[in-house]
Structure 1
């Protein structure tokens, strides 16, 4: 099948946390025989901060963030067997959704793929005439990279025919153990962009923990933190390219995951960072959220904190030996149950099932 995939960016993770997810899934679908063209706008300086060259497992079409270019890429949807509009493209999102679904051939499978479902659902609840809300009944599938039963129920309540979570996962060829790198040495490291719906949680779980442990070293990577007041024992890195994520994860005693507000409250929403850290064999400390046990076991494969004081206490008691044991256990669990090979097989099965449903409908 030919897939036309409209998303934020495949080539750059700059202000684009979904990049790892897109790469893992699309490369795996390529191995299963799918041909994907990924359409991404030249916006937000992402093309100036590319992590990868155009890969051999997908064609990438970078278009100008103009209405003329938008019309051109919308027309391309007519060539595909599967048309995917992802959330959070960032440029002409509503027009892109309406355009590509209208341009798709009648027999094409139409999918909305949500990489921030809790936030999207909050928008839909507040806007009865939201373009996505109007489009849902005409789509074949809504796929999400998290959210579990609450998200499925909410989407189907808004009129989606079928909603299926396709969770983040690990590509072991990309994220794996490497030797520590002095550039990223720390007792606790956190990697994440500064976002309005996560900043308060970063203040609590990371900044407060650093203030409680002034003799320990902390490291923060990601965009937007330059002017944020922080304790003196926190070092700032700015944007960390994906090529350095393995070293970032293996060079600290522990790595911290902090969910965004909506994802923490909804649950069942492990970030890409969870799988990257586990794949590298890092000891992960995460904030608490419902559904974590589906991915990692508390106390054995991950350490769980309810607030900044918990983070500080966990870090103060953590020995290199225990950190190594937790990281190794997490890596074993993720490799066994949560790889993109498994996620790709899941999506392949969904697409085959949907194609068969359409064939039966035509025959009837």
Structure 2
């Protein structure tokens, strides 16, 4: 099976404050390695234009467009004739694009929700601007970053034809052990978020205050200038994806902090879990339902609910056990959580959706219209 795939996503060219880029890069690279042809369509906006760190990947074609009206004019035939068209969450003018894609594409159509709990909350409040309730049943697939019970909710409440998990993943070619001595007791990568900051304070900032002889680091943009950090916490404003592996490998442990919406939904793993795991670095995580579906607590990952528990891990776990956890995490990650595994899952979801369609969709040449 060799597919012609079109992805309309938030951004693949810039990872600045944009977690979607990491997911798209890893997945599309894996799809290319499996023989598929992928074209990524991205809105050319100032924020990402000024912070691009991937311009011309050799594993997919990237096309930028400036206005909504450019899509049917420049890419109408491409979208109509593709085997699979994927629209991602948070794409500008997403509702209008969803209407156009599901009206014009003759192949399988999929909405890829990289922000599922956020989307569900916005749908309930009627404030979603990148997908509309009336459009969800028109897609052949609803691909979700979140698994578990939310998949049934997407089908039963919002009318999705087939809600299937397509979790984030790691590119093991980029994330692997490095020849670096761990000089940080604990590190964290993540864009600032008020709901995550409370957990970050509890599991990293306060342990840093209690353990002044150890070194810590927090990498990520958009942290308020008024935040006060202990002297032994290094702040890094932005860490490009190509530098993640070296950053992880310079830590004895990596911290995973989950957004409140993701905790409420459960089954919402962060890509940081898989990146650190592939690098052979043990993770300390907050607690959420479904975590044990991805890693076994105590042997492949450590869970901390309090400052005291985080401090105890940093101070008391023997080095041999730390290395055993790291090795187990890497083994599990490479077996179950690589982009190649997700590419295979996407192929299966495509085949299922393709087989369930009663007939070939007949597209017509029209422009992108407003969605009521």
**TM-score, normalising length: structure 1:** 0.90
Call closer, same or farther: CA 1:355–1:68 in 2, change over 3 Å: closer
Give the drift of 1:230: 2.0
Alignment of 1:41-60 (within 5 A): 41-43=43-45, 45-60=47-62
Call closer, same or farther: CA 1:43–1:30 in 2, change over 3 Å: same
Provide, for residues 19-59 of structure 1, a one-character-per-residue CA deviation record: whole Å limited to 9, x for no partner: 22212221222233321110112235323333334222211
1:93 is matched with 94
Is the Cα contact below 8 Å between 2:8 and 2:87 reproduced in 1? yes
CA distance in 2, matches of 1:231, 1:30: 45
- 1:10 partner SS: coil
CA distance in 1, matches of 2:194, 2:94: 20
CA distance in 2, matches of 1:128, 1:149: 24
Structure 1 stretches lacking a partner, 5+ long: none
CA distance in 2, matches of 1:165, 1:124: 19
Is the Cα contact below 8 Å between 1:5 and 1:38 reproduced in 2? yes
Give the drift of 1:347: 0.8
1:149 is matched with 148
- 1:355 partner SS: helix
CA distance in 2, matches of 1:265, 1:129: 19
Does 1:260 pair with 2:259? yes
1:211 is matched with 209
RMSD of aligned C-alpha atoms? 2.3
Alignment of 1:72-87 (within 5 A): 72=73, 75=76, 76-87=78-89
- 2:284 partner SS: strand
1:199 is matched with 197
Is the Cα contact below 8 Å between 2:147 and 2:165 reproduced in 1? yes
1:307 is matched with 306
Give the drift of 1:258: 0.5
1:177 is matched with 177
Is the Cα contact below 8 Å between 1:212 and 1:309 reproduced in 2? no
Choose which of 34, 37, 41 in structure 1 pairs with 2:36.
34
Call closer, same or farther: CA 1:310–1:349 in 2, change over 3 Å: same
Q: For structure 1, which segment, 73-82 or 109-118, has the greater mean C-alpha deviation from structure 2 after superposition?
A: 73-82
CA distance in 1, matches of 2:149, 2:360: 33
CA distance in 1, matches of 2:70, 2:232: 47
Call closer, same or farther: CA 1:72–1:201 in 2, change over 3 Å: farther
Provide, for residues 285-308 of structure 1, a one-character-per-residue CA deviation record: whole Å limited to 9, x for no partner: 111111111111111111111133
Is the Cα contact below 8 Å between 1:14 and 1:49 reproduced in 2? yes
CA distance in 2, matches of 1:40, 1:362: 27
Is the Cα contact below 8 Å between 1:187 and 1:253 reproduced in 2? yes
Provide, for residues 256-309 of structure 1, a one-character-per-residue CA deviation record: whole Å limited to 9, x for no partner: 010111111211111111100000000111111111111111111111111333
Is the Cα contact below 8 Å between 2:148 and 2:266 reproduced in 1? no
CA distance in 1, matches of 2:285, 2:18: 21
Is the Cα contact below 8 Å between 1:201 and 1:261 reproduced in 2? no
Call closer, same or farther: CA 1:187–1:109 in 2, change over 3 Å: same
Is the Cα contact below 8 Å between 1:94 and 1:132 reproduced in 2? yes
Greater helix percent: which structure? 1
Aligned residues: 355
Q: Which runs of 4+ in 1 moved over 6 A?
A: none
CA distance in 2, matches of 1:248, 1:56: 25
